[in-house]
Structure 1
Amino acid sequence: MASIDEQNVLTLLNREIKPGQSAKVNFNTAKLYTQTTVEVPIIIERSMQPGPVVLITSGIHGDEINGVEIVRQVIAKGINKPAKGTIICIPVVNVFGFLNMQREFPDGRDLNRMFPGSKSGPLASKVAYQFVEEILPIADYCLDFHTGGSSRFNAAQIRIDKSDNELIKLAHIFNAPFIVFSKTIAKSYRKSCMQLGKPVLLFEGGKSSDSNKEIAEIGVQGIQRVLSHLEMLREEFTPFQPKQKSIIIEDSAWMRAKYSGLLHVKIPIGKRVEKGEYIAIITDPYGSFRHKVKSTQSGYIINVNQSPIVYQGDAIFHISKDK
């Protein structure tokens, strides 16, 4: 199990990292069919000054590239070199999925539904178990980065439990455009963090198999604001402070397609719409059918289905509910 001793020496995966040191430790999860070992690189940066341990993760779903890009930029720009404490970055947790641009593990299981895992379970469960046992215990704060699934594009948002005042404070410090109150999913990474008493911010932005410059910038800036709050951000970095504070979303609902056809979205992600507002068109391929989609409620558009073709009943817009 990971630990920090009285001399402030960090031990992670049987590797000792002293104050002021940098290290790259490989988390060996399993082997490919060819017996080639699959390693998950963990980048560790330590200050000479003691302080919190911040664990930054992405790629729990292998096809969620935006999160990977956010953590990559944090490392490439040196933001992960702390003024005090320790920053641990894992840009790609699910290397198996990343190699194949797939959400799941090769066994078809979703890693984010396998926590805290099992020592003798299937592959995804074993990886979750090792992560919880050998890495997570050392963290004081966790930042986890995700995107919308399939072709559904999420507005940049932090998801937290509305009953946790510390997380609400941290979410406002991160200052993504939206803070979404959402229940914690059973067997998720976020659930394991909460069970171990680790404050965790879950960031959602963009869609899978896509890299969006604006979403990446929001994520990187949010990380800097949190590190600055913890007094871990070095002086050469100055996080941008948006004029607008995060909009809190307490409840939301999906709008579904009434017809199958080609979807033409007419409004930008994050826009506030009024009930009855014209937001999209569904057409057939032959020019004989045209249906105007109107918002079923007033609120903010926090997710848009960007698939060019939809079927009747498909979720097309996720809209917040006004209280």
Structure 2
Amino acid sequence: MPKTKVEILHILGEQVLPGESKEVNFDVANLHTSTPVNVPVIIERSKKPGPTVLFTAGIHGDEVNGVEIVRQLIAKGINRPKTGTIICMPVINVFGFINLKREFPDGRDLNRVFPGSPSGSLAARVAYKLIHEVIPHADLIIDFHTGGSDRFNAPQLRYTKDHTDLNALAKAFGPPFVLYSKNLSKSFRTTCSKLGKPLLLFEGGKSFHIDDIVTNSGVNGSKRILKHLGMLKTVFKSTKPKRECIFINESKWLRAKYSGMFKAVAPIGSHVEKDDILGNITDPYGKFNYFVRARHAGYIININESPIVYQGDALFHISVEIKT
């Protein structure tokens, strides 16, 4: 990953010199009002050679906690590298972000249309431009996401089990959990994997919500990984994680047996034993109360925080097998 020579960076029709700070525009289409949409890409370069790290967020327009993490990296100057180059894209799906929606205006999920097409839908065109004009410059990508809907994710990194080369980077990041998960068809992660670009996918929190613990986990993890790569400036102190990250080989969802009003009592990230009470489902009339119990021991890495659930809804995501 280390580089011996600092070269001029040609990206999105602009050139960025060594030691230069520059904001370039990732533009694809105007709004329906003909108003141009400028999607800033913030680039900071050191005069010293080193890797290029890309921080991305907002692939889904409703996942604002990831946007907040990258925003803090920029606002606190963490993105100004000691060596190498740091590229920040806080909001990729700016159309969804504007409309407070997960998808693009065409109804497509950006994370299901990669590698995209230059003549396809709006989402496909954004995916194509990202893959062909930004990704080739990156040596490492850290992509920030949150849980969908009301499902709250404990801070965690995700990648496939066969990417053993990412284990050292994951340990350097230091999240509470690392979840080995399969690549999804036409996702950003899958496409980067096929291109040989290492990607750490960070999950934490839920849609339309900013959580301080999740934000701190993402920001501190980013600082640790930059320090690990020799890119973090000495003025920034990287905090050690409170505990070593737990690697999860397998996990299962515990689903609602009944419909009703739901309240979780087990905290996110906690370890539970079989038959522990995790929450309860009631009816609005005070006639029914069902205790949700753990079916096996494990760590809770996701909790459904919706007050209303239906039979079959996912309630808790719990680890089954831990890597030892």
Q: Scaled by the length of structure 1, what TM-score is found?
A: 0.97
Query: Are residues 1:230 and 2:229 paired?
Result: yes
The aligned counterpart of 2:192 is: 193
State the alpha-carbon separation in 2 of the partners of residues 161 and 212 from structure 1: 26
Does structure 2 retain, via aligned residues, the 8 Å contact 1:162–1:168? no
The aligned counterpart of 1:208 is: 207
State the alpha-carbon separation in 2 of the partners of residues 287 and 33 from structure 1: 50
**Superimposed CA distance per residue, residues 131-153 of structure 1 (whole angstroms, 9 cap, x where no aligned partner):** 11111100000000000000000
**Superimposed CA distance per residue, residues 122-172 of structure 1 (whole angstroms, 9 cap, x where no aligned partner):** 110011001111111000000000000000000100001111121111111
State the alpha-carbon separation in 2 of the partners of residues 42 and 7 from structure 1: 20
The aligned counterpart of 1:30 is: 29
The aligned counterpart of 1:244 is: 243
State the alpha-carbon separation in 2 of the partners of residues 200 and 31 from structure 1: 30
Query: Are residues 1:60 and 2:59 paired?
Result: yes
State the alpha-carbon separation in 2 of the partners of residues 304 and 144 from structure 1: 21
Superposition pairs for residues 16-27 of structure 1, below 5 Å? 16-27=15-26
State the alpha-carbon separation in 1 of the partners of residues 53 and 144 from structure 2: 14
State the alpha-carbon separation in 1 of the partners of residues 175 and 6 from structure 2: 37
- Describe the SS at the equivalent of 1:39: coil
Give every structure 1 segment of 4 or more consecutive aligned residues whose post-TM-superposition deviation is greater than 2 Å: none
State the alpha-carbon separation in 2 of the partners of residues 132 and 160 from structure 1: 19
Superposition pairs for residues 41-56 of structure 1, below 5 Å? 41-56=40-55
Alpha-carbon spacing, 1:232–1:7, altered in 2? closer, same or farther (3 Å):
closer
Q: Structure 2: state its 5+ residue gaps.
A: none
Does structure 1 retain, via aligned residues, the 8 Å contact 2:268–2:301? yes
**Superimposed CA distance per residue, residues 77-128 of structure 1 (whole angstroms, 9 cap, x where no aligned partner):** 0000000100000000000000011110001100011110011111100110
- Describe the SS at the equivalent of 2:321: coil
The aligned counterpart of 1:296 is: 295
The amino acid across from 2:106 in the alignment is D
Superposition pairs for residues 150-189 of structure 1, below 5 Å? 150-189=149-188
The aligned counterpart of 1:145 is: 144
The aligned counterpart of 2:74 is: 75
Does structure 1 retain, via aligned residues, the 8 Å contact 2:6–2:48? no
**Superimposed CA distance per residue, residues 41-64 of structure 1 (whole angstroms, 9 cap, x where no aligned partner):** 100000011111000000000000
1:7 Cα deviation from its structure 2 partner: 6.1
**Superimposed CA distance per residue, residues 148-197 of structure 1 (whole angstroms, 9 cap, x where no aligned partner):** 00000001000011111211111111110000000011111111111111
State the alpha-carbon separation in 1 of the partners of residues 20 and 249 from structure 2: 43
The amino acid across from 1:262 in the alignment is M
The aligned counterpart of 2:316 is: 317
- Describe the SS at the equivalent of 2:182: coil
State the alpha-carbon separation in 2 of the partners of residues 88 and 249 from structure 1: 30
The amino acid across from 1:49 in the alignment is K
The aligned counterpart of 2:254 is: 255
Superposition pairs for residues 6-17 of structure 1, below 5 Å? 8-17=7-16
Does structure 2 retain, via aligned residues, the 8 Å contact 1:298–1:322? no
State the alpha-carbon separation in 2 of the partners of residues 258 and 10 from structure 1: 55
How many residues in Structure 1 have an aligned counterpart in Structure 2?
A: 319
State the alpha-carbon separation in 2 of the partners of residues 22 and 322 from structure 1: 45
Does structure 2 retain, via aligned residues, the 8 Å contact 1:175–1:246? yes
State the alpha-carbon separation in 2 of the partners of residues 242 and 37 from structure 1: 42
The aligned counterpart of 2:96 is: 97
**Range with greater deviation from structure 2 (145-154 or 190-199):** 190-199
The amino acid across from 1:322 in the alignment is E
Identity of matched residues, %: 56
The amino acid across from 1:21 in the alignment is E
State the alpha-carbon separation in 1 of the partners of residues 49 and 247 from structure 2: 34
Q: Scaled by the length of structure 2, what TM-score is found?
A: 0.97
Alpha-carbon spacing, 1:276–1:16, altered in 2? closer, same or farther (3 Å):
same
The aligned counterpart of 2:277 is: 278
Over the aligned positions, Cα root-mean-square deviation in angstroms equals 1.1
Does structure 1 retain, via aligned residues, the 8 Å contact 2:6–2:49? no
1:243 Cα deviation from its structure 2 partner: 3.7
Does structure 2 retain, via aligned residues, the 8 Å contact 1:184–1:191? yes
